[in-house]
Each structure stands twice: as structure tokens, then as C-alpha cells.
């Protein structure tokens, strides 16, 4: 998509963690981000860089109205449910929000002639990881989601690809690895309820705002026995969305692209980095492995470099932890959620 003066981009889920950071990146690059969100887990205070439309992605008519009213040229689609554990207990809910919601969005875009979509996919489509336990994962690695959450992300990719072929939509699915950190301005940051991600949980445990952290398994086939994950700074992730929006792709093209760093950090390395940033050790204990946790999920990010001209610049573990810690210490929206966070960490 050409960068026009204040071209309007609909950001579904733009009141949430990654969506809000992307809205800011769009604004900084000269676009007008129009956030469309039902605020089920997002925050009105996180919408700061353009108009807000309160709506549900399952409401095709309201979506169509928003596309028309704001003269939308492209959509970045974050809205959906994200907790892996909850998807096992309530798979129907996840298919309804994530898959039926995407059907409704695709219908509204087709009817209004909106030709470009960037979709939040996930490393969860790879399930147990790549071809070997410690190898980085390329996009053509086997797809075998280990949860209904991952199933919904893969189903959405297939559906978007089919719509690209049928109607000339241009689609990019970005498969995120572990998003973390916060915008350097401290205006926005991570505020999930319940929080299931390791870095905010480790910080909460260290600051005494949450229970001691449980490390789920220290007997994996990895150098220190704990799981390896690829942590990507949310500002880098936001930049990847802008690059996907602007990528030179023909009508009808569909691309799936990993967004990660190519470097894994173990749970113990994260715990140590948080301890160093806070100034004392993170209280933690070792628990049993959780069902379905792969030993290693680390992206091969070459395709993002080749196709989008994108690579991570702010994603060292120390930088991510420093930004996340500053955000946790900043008075902010979502501040009340921390004490109720569940002490678990997952890849979504």
C-alpha cells in the first residue's frame, strides 16, 4: 500500500497490547489509525492516535459502516481471544471470536473494496516447534497447533489465503513469537488480564505484586533445562506491521511471515535478566512441565528481512526487560489487574 497523507487504516483490537503499539507506529509514519475494539480485554486509554469505534468484529454491518465512514484503505487485524489455556476449556468461544470474527471482517472488506489485510498470526501454528528440537523455525515448517487457540490462527490464515485468491485481496499473516516490552514513551504497555506471559509475571513476582513465579519444568532438552522462547520487543513488532502494510505485493498475494529475532532465551535467562534489572533475585520455584509446552520455539526470521525489509532493532533481552519494568512502575491503565494475574507463562 502506498503511504498517502494520513491514509486511514482500521486497527481491530487496537485498544490491546500489540494493537496500541501498532496504532502509534502507524501515526508516527503518517497514517491515521482508526481503532475498532469491543474493549473486552483492551483499554480505552490505550487509544491515543486516532478515532475510536466501539464495536465487535463479529458485527459485519458495524464493521462495514466503520470502513465506509473513515474511508479505510487497509486493515490490521489484532482483535481476538489470546489465552491458550482458556481455548482448551472453551474452544467454541475461540472459534466464534477468532474465526467467525475474521469471516465477518473479510466479508465487510470484500463488500467495501478494502484490498489489504495484515493479520496477527502466531508461532502457535507450529505446535511443537520446528524440524529439530533446537533449530529455528522457518515458515514452511510443519503446522500442527497444540491448542484450539493455535487451530483458530491457522484456520484464519487458510481463510485469508482463499479470499486473496478469490477476490484479489492482498494478505500478510505475521506469525509472532513472544511479544514483550513496552513503548519507550511509557504511554502504553502490556496489561493482560489474566496475565500469562513470562516477563510481566517475573517482574510482578520480583516487585512483590504477584505470587512467586513457577518455572514449568527444568528438565527439557535445552542448555539449562528450561524452555527457550524468542522474545520480540512490541515496538519491533509494531514496525513489522507497518512494513507488511507497505510491502510491494500484488493483488491476490498471500504471505505468511515469522516475526522474531532468531535468538532464543531460556526461562532461567529471563528470570536472571529481570532479577538484574530489579536489583534482587526473582522469587521462583520449579514446577512440573505443562502439557504441550515445546522445548524450543525460535523463529527463523530471514523471510521478514527479505520480503518486508524488516529486522528487530530493540529486542535484546535486557532492553525488553528494562522497558517492561519501567512500564510496570508507571501509573497507568490496567494497573489494578496485576495482583490477580495467574502465575503461569505460555506461548500464544
Q: For 290, which DSSP code? A: P
Beta partners for 10?
Answer: 34, 75
Nearer to ligand NAD, 51 or 225 (CB): 51
Nearer to ligand NAD, 38 or 163 (CB): 38
Residue 265's SS3 state is strand
By CB under 6 A, which span of 10-18, 61-69, 135-143, 285-293 interacts with ligand NAD?
A: 10-18
Which residue of 10, 82, 160, 243 would you call a contact of ligand NAD, by CB under 6 A?
82
* Pattern 148-187, ligand NAD, x by CB under 6 A: ----------------------------x-xx--------
With beta carbons less than 8 A apart as the criterion, state whether 33 and 27 touch. Answer: yes
Q: How far is the CB of 109 from ligand NAD (least distance, A)?
A: 15
Which residue of 4, 28, 30, 40 would you call a contact of ligand NAD, by CB under 6 A?
40
Which residue of 31, 76, 87, 97 would you call a contact of ligand NAD, by CB under 6 A?
97
Residue 48's SS3 state is coil
Q: How far is the CB of 207 from ligand NAD (least distance, A)?
A: 21
Which residue of 8, 33, 34, 38 would you call a contact of ligand NAD, by CB under 6 A?
38
Q: Does 54 bind ligand NAD (CB under 6 A)?
A: no
Q: How far is the CB of 65 from ligand NAD (least distance, A)?
A: 14
Q: How far is the CB of 282 from ligand NAD (least distance, A)?
A: 20
Q: Does residue 176 have an active-site annotation? A: no
Nearer to ligand NAD, 147 or 214 (CB): 147
Cβ contacts of residue 215 below 8 Å, gap of 6+? 226, 267, 268, 271, 284, 285, 286, 287
Nearer to ligand NAD, 229 or 272 (CB): 229
Q: Does 76 bind ligand NAD (CB under 6 A)?
A: no
With beta carbons less than 8 A apart as the criterion, state whether 259 and 182 touch. Answer: no
Q: How far apart are CA 277 and CA 116, in angstroms?
A: 41
Nearer to ligand NAD, 32 or 81 (CB): 81
Which residue of 87, 104, 122, 170 would you call a contact of ligand NAD, by CB under 6 A?
122
User: Any idea of the CA torsion for 134, 140, 141, 142, to the nearest 10 degrees?
Assistant: 180
Nearer to ligand NAD, 122 or 214 (CB): 122
Q: Does 199 bind ligand NAD (CB under 6 A)?
A: no
Q: How many positions of this chain bind ligand NAD (CB under 6 A)? A: 29
Q: How far is the CB of 309 from ligand NAD (least distance, A)?
A: 22
Q: How far apart are CA 152 and CA 275, in angstroms?
A: 36
Q: How far apart are CA 254 and CA 332, in angstroms?
A: 38
Which residue of 120, 226, 261, 346 would you call a contact of ligand NAD, by CB under 6 A?
120
With beta carbons less than 8 A apart as the criterion, state whether 112 and 141 touch. Answer: no
Closest CA to 267 of 221, 215, 339, 329: 215
Interface of this chain with ligand NAD, residues 240 to 299, rule: CB under 6 A: none
Q: How far apart are CA 221 and CA 132, in angstroms?
A: 11
Q: Pick the catalytic residue: 31, 149, 176, 231?
A: 149
Q: Does 13 bind ligand NAD (CB under 6 A)?
A: yes
Q: How far apart are CA 291 and CA 129, in angstroms?
A: 14
Cβ contacts of residue 212 below 8 Å, gap of 6+? 205, 283, 284, 285, 343
CA distances from 322 to 182, 230, 237, 239, 325 (A): 9, 17, 17, 19, 5
Site residues (CB under 6 A) for ligand NAD?
A: 13, 15-19, 37-42, 56-58, 78-82, 97, 101, 120, 122, 176, 178-179, 192, 348
Amino acid at each position: 500500500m502506498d503511504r498517502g497523507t494520513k491514509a486511514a487504516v482500521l486497527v481491530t483490537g487496537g485498544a490491546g497490547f500489540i494493537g496500541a503499539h501498532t496504532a502509534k507506529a502507524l501515526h508516527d509514519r503518517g497514517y491515521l489509525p482508526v481503532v475498532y475494539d469491543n474493549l473486552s480485554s483492551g483499554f480505552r486509554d490505550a487509544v491515543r492516535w486516532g478515532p475510536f469505534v466501539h464495536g465487535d468484529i463479529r458485527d459485519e454491518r458495524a464493521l462495514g459502516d466503520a470502513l465506509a465512514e473513515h474511508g479505510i484503505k487497509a486493515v490490521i487485524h489484532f482483535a481476538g481471544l489470546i489465552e491458550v489455556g482458556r481455548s482448551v476449556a472453551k474452544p467454541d468461544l475461540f472459534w466464534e471470536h477468532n474465526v467467525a470474527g475474521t469471516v465477518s471482517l473479510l466479508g465487510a472488506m470484500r463488500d467495501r473494496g478494502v484490498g489489504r489485510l495484515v493479520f496477527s498470526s502466531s508461532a502457535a501454528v507450529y505446535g511443537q516447534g520446528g524440524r529439530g528440537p533446537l533449530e529455528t523455525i522457518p515458515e514452511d515448517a510443519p503446522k500442527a497447533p497444540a491448542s484450539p487457540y493455535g487451530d483458530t490462527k491457522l484456520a484464519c490464515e487458510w481463510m485469508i489465503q482463499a479470499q486473496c485468491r478469490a477476490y484479489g485481496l492482498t494478505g500478510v499473516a505475521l506469525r509472532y513469537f513472544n511479544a514483550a516490552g513496552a513503548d519507550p514513551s511509557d504511554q502504553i504497555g502490556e496489561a493482560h488480564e489474566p496475565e500469562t506471559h513470562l516477563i510481566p509475571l517475573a517482574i510482578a513476582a520480583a516487585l512483590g505484586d504477584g505470587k512467586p513465579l513457577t518455572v514449568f519444568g527444568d528438565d527439557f532438552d535445552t542448555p539449562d533445562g528450561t524452555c527457550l522462547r524468542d522474545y520480540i520487543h512490541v515496538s519491533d513488532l509494531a514496525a513489522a506491521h507497518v512494513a507488511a502494510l507497505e510491502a510491494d505485493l500484488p493483488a491476490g498475494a498471500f504471505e505468511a511471515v515469522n516475526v522474531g529475532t532468531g535468538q532464543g532465551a531460556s526461562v532461567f535467562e529471563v528470570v536472571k535478566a529481570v532479577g538484574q534489572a530489579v536489583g534482587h533475585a526473582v522469587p521462583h520455584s520449579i514446577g512440573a512441565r505443562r502439557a504441550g509446552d515445546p522445548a524450543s520455539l525460535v523463529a527463523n526470521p530471514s523471510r521478514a528481512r527479505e520480503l518486508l525489509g524488516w529486522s528487530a532493532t530493540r529486542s535484546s533481552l535486557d532492553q525488553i526487560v528494562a522497558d517492561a519494568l519501567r512500564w510496570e512502575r508507571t501509573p497507568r491503565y490496567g494497573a489494578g489487574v496485576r495482583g490477580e494475574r495467574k502465575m503461569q507463562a505460555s506461548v500464544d
